[in-house]
Chains A and B, each alone.
Chain A
Amino acid sequence: MNKAQRRAFDIAVWALLLTMPFWMRAIGGYTELATRIVVMGLAAMSLNFLLGFTGVLSFGHAAYFGLGAYGTAMAIKYLEQGTLPGMAAGVIIATIAAAIIGALIVRRRGVYFAMVTIAFGQVFYFIAFRWNVVTGGDDGLTGWHRMPIDLGLANLDIFGNDKAFYYFALVIFAICVAIMAMLLNSPFGRTLLAIRENERRARFLGIPIERHIWLSFVISCFFVSVAGALYALLNNFTDPRALRFDLSGNFVIMAVLGGMRFFWGPLIGAAIFVALQDYISSHTENWMSAIGLVFVLVVLFFPRGVLGILRGRSAE
């Protein structure tokens, strides 16, 4: 795929994202589903910053997604904050947690790293599950909702207007994605690719591996917590499932499904995952087995993911 084709693909992705609320209904969807695709797409792309572009597998990203969600929800509910300060609170809490936990686990590699990320993730899950008074326990945190945003000249009614919230989420998504793209195209981003490709060579070029993996982990968790904050706002609700390891697994599935070597891969994977989940779960409770089947087929026959198929064709 050359530069012009890549540019065309970028434009197509943005065009689809910008118009999604207007054609969602025509293909049997609804605006909230479109928003969920954008939010989960951001989460999966954030995970993929670490997985696809640093070569480090985390099975615990739901912890930071959930911390972003709970932080936002609690700041709005208990501190009576607006939407943006609420999000800031969630993201800051999650990023601090990621910085501390990341420093503890950054020397682990491969499956050991994945295991400890699960373990730390479950700690937050059980806190949210047990601490009823504050977190609402298993029932989740209710009794709050996202607040309209005062833009000075006008009021952006993201609470009453589904489409307004979609575009609010899309703006946040665009900012996050642009920053990630910039980072990956910089010397710093290339050191991460170097670590993914060959840790020994990277070390003997003089790159302090652990420090760079830690940075990548914290950056990745920062963006996944933004997605978590948006997710809580989308639902006007959050519960411990936003922190649980099966959600971490879903992020990994989305990234692999779409193609983790491609910048947009996880977004495509998230779109397929969320749409299938929505469609199949209206017919059967066992929607996960259908998604599992799709996942297994893709991994077996198209190990580079859905985008890998498309790009393979276009290269021929």
Chain B
Amino acid sequence: MSLLQVRNASRHFGSLVAVDDVSLVIEPGELRAIIGPNGAGKTTFFNLISGFFKPTSGVILFDGKDIGALTPEQRVQSGMARTFQVTEIFPELSIADNLRIAVEVAAGLRMKVWLGAARRRAIDARVTELLEMGNLADKRDGLVGALSHGDQRAAEILMALALRPRLLMLDEPTAGMGDQETYDIARLIRRLHQKERLAMLLIEHDMRVVFNLADRITVLAQGRVLAEGTPDGIAASETVQAAYLGKAAA
């Protein structure tokens, strides 16, 4: 069964149609990239899936269940996690505590006012494991707000990963990064995808990243699906090139 099925989702803001009749199917373990010019509705589409907004019309199924009525928190609990275009972390806490909060919430401990020693050790171990995945173990006690942009992005991705999602949605993970940082984040994404066997949905502007990582690519333009296919197919598509070149010319 498909992990995520979006059927004819639309979202209007007044007279603006941000997402227009979009359908999309994500299989378990798939790495899907969504690309498109600025204003194509990519982030709005993410927001519909994660529950930030409700769709004006259309149906969203996760694991075959309609999640349209669920709050963002409930969607997280059902197995999806996301990052944001502008890094959303807990700046005045250490990177270890950032991850610890995510690990504890994921373990269903958010109401606990006391932890036994065994529980604490298990959480510490998971935090360390996550830090090592992101090569951040040596910075664990530093305030996350004082880290480099790239490390902050990595921290946010690891926080989402700490929730043990089956679908991880990353909104422009390499935005505003230099070449080296972009390369590091792309490698982190690939490593996590291979290690955790989770489905990923990725909005990204850096085409090197997209074409290197994605199993399949969906192209959005003006709120609609323009094309969908393998990286090779998309690279060869004339409609896609026209959309991008047209945008660049304008």
Contacts and interface: CB of A to CB of B under 8 A. Distances in A.
B199 to A, nearest CB: 17
B159 interface: yes
A53 B89 CA distance: 16
Given A186-B114, A187-B104, A207-B73, A197 B92 contact: yes
A187 B107 CA distance: 10
Given A186-B113, A198-B89, A206 B106 contact: yes
Interface residues of B, number: 32
Most chain B CB inside 10 Å of its own CB: which residue of A201, A202, A208: A201
Nearest to A189: B113
A190 to B, nearest CB: 5
Given A197-B90, A205-B105, A187 B112 contact: yes
Interface in A162-212: 182-183, 186-191, 193-194, 197-198, 200-209, 212
Contacts, number: 86
Contact of B105 (A186, A198, A207, A261): A207
Contact of B104 (A190, A197, A198, A200): A190
A187 B90 contact: no
Q: For this complex, into which size category does the number of interface residues on chain A fall?
A: 20 to 34
Interface in B61-109: 71-73, 76-77, 81-82, 84, 88-93, 97, 100-102, 104-106, 109
A59 B77 CA distance: 34
Contacts of B112: 186-188
A191 B106 contact: no
B111 interface: yes
Residue from B84, B93, B110 having most chain A Cβ neighbours under 10 A = B110
B72 to A, nearest CB: 5
Contact of A197 (B50, B93, B156): B93
Contact of A193 (B50, B72, B90): B90
A204 B100 contact: no
Interface in B149-204: 156, 159, 163
A204 B106 contact: no
Given A197-B93, A203-B72, A187 B115 contact: yes
Given A203-B72, A205-B105, A198 B91 contact: yes
A201 B105 CA distance: 12
Nearest to A188: B113
A197 B77 CA distance: 21
Contacts of A193: 90, 93, 97, 101
Residue of A206, A207, A212 with most chain B CB atoms under a 10 A cut-off: A206
Contacts of B110: 187-188, 191, 206-207, 212
A201 B144 CA distance: 14
B169 to A, nearest CB: 10
Contact of A204 (B50, B104, B114): B50
A54 to B, nearest CB: 13
Given A183-B113, A188-B112, A198 B106 contact: no
Contacts of A182: 113-114
A231 B157 CA distance: 49
| Top-8 shortest CB links A-B | A197-B90, A206-B76, A201-B88, A187-B104, A187-B109, A186-B113, A187-B112, A194-B101
Interface of A: 182-183, 186-191, 193-194, 197-198, 200-209, 212, 261
14 contacts: A182-B114, A187-B104, A187-B113, A188-B110, A190-B97, A190-B101, A198-B88, A201-B90, A204-B72, A205-B76, A205-B163, A206-B76, A207-B105, A208-B71
